[in-house]
Each structure stands twice: as C-alpha cells, then as structure tokens.
A and B are shown apart, each in its own frame.
Chain A
Amino acid sequence: MHVSDGILSAPVLGAGFAGTAALAAVTLRKMDMEEIPKVSVVTAVFFVASLIHVPIGAASVHLILNGLVGVVLGRRAFPAVLLGVILQAILFGHGGVSVIGVNALMMGTGALAAYGIWRLRRRMAMVRSTFVFGALAGATATLVSGLILAAALATTGEAFWATAGYVLAAHVPIKIVEALVVGACAAFLARVKPTVLADAEPQAAVGGAPS
C-alpha cells in the first residue's frame, strides 16, 4: 500500500517527512550495536516477503505485512518500515522518492499500532491465542495505514475525497488477507521460535562486545 509521486499537496508531503523524522528519532533511541544488523537483516526479510503475491478472486495482491513487522520488531518496527519504504522508492524504479515521508508514516504507524494490539495479548486472561492477536494486529495495521492514506488524500483537496473513499473500500479484502497471513505467521512463530516475537522474554546476549 503506497501513494505515488505527484498526487499529494506540498503541506501533506512536508507533514509526512516531519512526522516520519520525529517518529524515527523516537523509535531509534537506545539502539545498541547488536540491534543494528539485526533490525536491518530482519527488514530484508520483510522487504522480500512483501514481494509475495496471493490471489484474491481473479486478481492478486502482494502482502504488506507491516502488522507482522510490529509483531516481530516492536517499536523498532518504525525504522524497519522506513528502511523498506526508502529501498522500495529507490530500487523498484516505480518512484516514491517525494512520498517517502508520507508512505513511511502511514505504514510505520500501522506497524506500531499492530505492536500495541499484540502487546495486549499478555493482559488478556481469556483469549490468549496468538493466531487471534496476530490476525488482529495484521488487520489493525492495514486499517490504520488505510485511514492515514485516506486522510492524506482528503487533506490534499476536496477532489480526492472520492478517491479516499475508494481506497478504504478497496482495503477490505486486503485486511482479510493480512489478518489471516499475520495470524498464521504469529501462531507459527510462537510454536517454533517464540524469541522472534516482539514481547518474548529478552534473549540472552551473544558474547561480549569489546569494552
């Protein structure tokens, strides 16, 4: 899910860059030297996984997985999404250089929202199913991102109100796809290697860094 160059108004583009810079500054705080390669390498997986297409009806959509980024990387999900957006804008050749700010803000906020939902899992006494919370996280991420995209379009001008509505409607099947994939993936990870998930017990650090 992304918006392309040339559509949004300058104030919206500016707000996107400002918001992204602020959130990146907050979510990159206290990054230790082990996390630099870790977050980057895991981001590479998400980048690659977002190239996967799944059929819906006669058409097919590619996975977004920003909810899963939140479920796996916690607050580091925002910088991860930002990396992904920058690389897409530069490497794909589909454009997006001028909308890096808006796209990162839209997708990254979705990822953070997913992390928020995912964390609730610990406080729920009754429903603890990782599938359910993974699915909720996946759907929430898409919902939040969709709303931000719609807001960005709507603020650009009245002409785009209808477009914003279509965007929200078109996202319904995508939400379902994301919910089911992220749910299945979260349940799988909880079973196979729970330390990959964002709110797992802190992993024992490997070895010592030079003092």
Chain B
Amino acid sequence: MPLDIDRYAHLDSPVQRWDPRLKLASLGLFVLAVSLLQTLPLAAAAFLVALLWLRLAALPWGFVAQGVRWVLLFLMPFFLILPLSYPGPEAFRVLGLPFAWEGLRLAALITLKAVAIVLTAYAMFGTARFDLSMQALERLGAPRLLVQMILFTYRYIFVFLAEMRRKDIAMRARGFVKRADRRTLQVMGHFVGTLLVRSFERTERIYKAMLSKGYTGELRTLVRFRANGSDWAKAVAVTLVAAALLGADLVGPFRAAEQGWF
C-alpha cells in the first residue's frame, strides 16, 4: 500500500505550479459536478477531461493505475448485480440469466464517474506536498482543529507502520501463521492491543515534548500561498469545464435520447 500520494509533487507542471488553494477549490467543484452527472456520454466526457488533468500534471500512468485498478475491482460486481436485478427491458441472456440494458448503463455510468473522480483526486492531491494541501484546505475554510489533527495522524502513521512491521516479523519469527480460526483473531486482537498501549505511552511522551517546546494548544505555521493571474485563469477554466459538463448533462440532448435508447 503506497501512502506517498505526493511522491510526484516535485515535478514541474502547470498543475504542480498551481496555487494549491485554487487548485483544490476548482478541481473540487469539478468532482462535485461529476458526481451529479446522470448521462453516459457526459460521464465519458468527464472521464476524458480527468485524463487531461493527469496529462497536464505529468503524473506517471503506472502510479495512477495502481489506485484505479482497486476502484475497478470494487466496481466489477455492479456489472453483474445491477443488470441482473434491474427490472427493465432485457438486453441479452447469459446462462439463462437476463441482463437488463438499464442495469448495464447504470454500471457503466457509475464506473466512468468513479474513475473520473479518482483521477481528479490524483490531480488534486498528487501534485503538492500532503501537508501543503492540508494547509490549503484550511485556508479554504476547513476547520483548523481537524487539519492539525490530520497532520498529526499522518506523521504517526509512518511510525506505527514501522512498528507494526517489526511486531509482525517478530510474530512470524516465532512460527505464527494467520489462519481462518478463532485463535488467529484473538492473536490479532492482542496485536492491535499492544500497538494501542504503546501508542498511548507515546502520546504522553509526545505531549511532554510539545509542552517542553512551549506548546499552548495551537500549531502555528509560516506557510503562505500566493495566487497570480495564471492561477486564477486555470481555476476559472476548470470551473467553466465543470459547469459546461453539468449544464449539458441537465439540459442537453442526451437525457431524452438515453431514455429512448434504453
């Protein structure tokens, strides 16, 4: 599980250079628009536009494909469940099971929208250092407390991952093998328990260290964002694309046509 979503934040591209506040706000609007789409052609268009973001951000396809593969895996069942359970005109039969057109359409719609959103999320969060993205969200109005906590949690995920790996090796070194039985689950419970005990002890030490350095309940930062004309131009462009997709979806010719087709 790669957790370094911001591994390509250092690349130089129009997306990486973009003020994170405007980038997150406008691509966020795009995500909102995509999740509102109802028609297949516009979902497909959104998917293509999302590919464009990635192209602009110069993110390697392989890096992105890793995440997208999981989404596709997760959505695969819908291509069976929806066509088989949808009460509508039958498209074809496989092994005697009736597949409905409308179900297939819905499954395709879901998949296109999901992948478009995931790709856009890469353009949003894969193109700036994670902590800067979070600071930008705070400037956009996300609660300060929550952002502070996210940054803390993020920092310690890596500490506990390392600790979990060490404990895991120690268990396997003593011959432990996970099986589908009750004892395995009990051992896992104890395993998580020891991690928790250690983490509580650690939080006490961290808190002491923070107090020692004059912590008064607030994390201060010197991060500043600056937006220039081209930052705004990009934001306006993305917002217009989002609005156009949504508008075409709502009033365009596709809605009626789709109802006719299926």
Interface residues of A (CB under 8 A from B): 4-8, 10, 13, 24, 28, 31-34, 36-45, 47-49, 51-57, 63, 65, 68, 72, 79, 82-84, 86-87, 89-98, 158-163, 166, 177, 180-189, 192-193, 195-196, 206-207, 209-210
* Docked complex: B154-190 residues within 8 A CB-CB of A: 154-157, 159-161, 164, 178-180, 182, 184-190
Q: Judging by beta carbons under 8 Å apart, are B156 and A44 in contact?
A: yes
Q: Does B13 contact A (CB under 8 A)?
A: no
Contacts of A185 in B (CB 8 A): 189-190, 192-193, 196
Q: Judging by beta carbons under 8 Å apart, are B150 and A86 in contact?
A: yes
Q: How many residues of B contact A (CB 8 A)?
A: 93
Secondary structure call for the A interface: helix
Q: A33-B217, A82-B146 are in contact. Are A38 and B157 (CB under 8 A)?
A: no
* Docked complex: B107-150 residues within 8 A CB-CB of A: 109-118, 120-122, 124-126, 130, 133, 143, 145-146, 148-150
Q: Judging by beta carbons under 8 Å apart, are A90 and B153 in contact?
A: no
Q: Which of B75-83, B90-98, B226-234, B235-243 contacts A (4 or more CB under 8 A)?
A: B75-83
Q: Judging by beta carbons under 8 Å apart, are A83 and B146 in contact?
A: yes
Q: How far is the CB of B69 from chain A (nearest CB, A)?
A: 9
Q: A48-B157, A87-B153 are in contact. Are A195 and B189 (CB under 8 A)?
A: no
Contacts of A45 in B (CB 8 A): 156, 160, 192, 195-196, 199
Q: A24-B146, A45-B195 are in contact. Are A4 and B74 (CB under 8 A)?
A: yes
Q: How far is the CB of A203 from chain B (nearest CB, A)?
A: 9
Query: Which A residue's beta carbon lies closest to that of B188?
Result: A181
Can you give 9 contacting A-B residue pairs, CB < 8 Å? A6-B35, A6-B113, A31-B145, A36-B152, A45-B160, A83-B150, A91-B154, A95-B117, A189-B196
Contacts of B5 in A (CB 8 A): 90-93
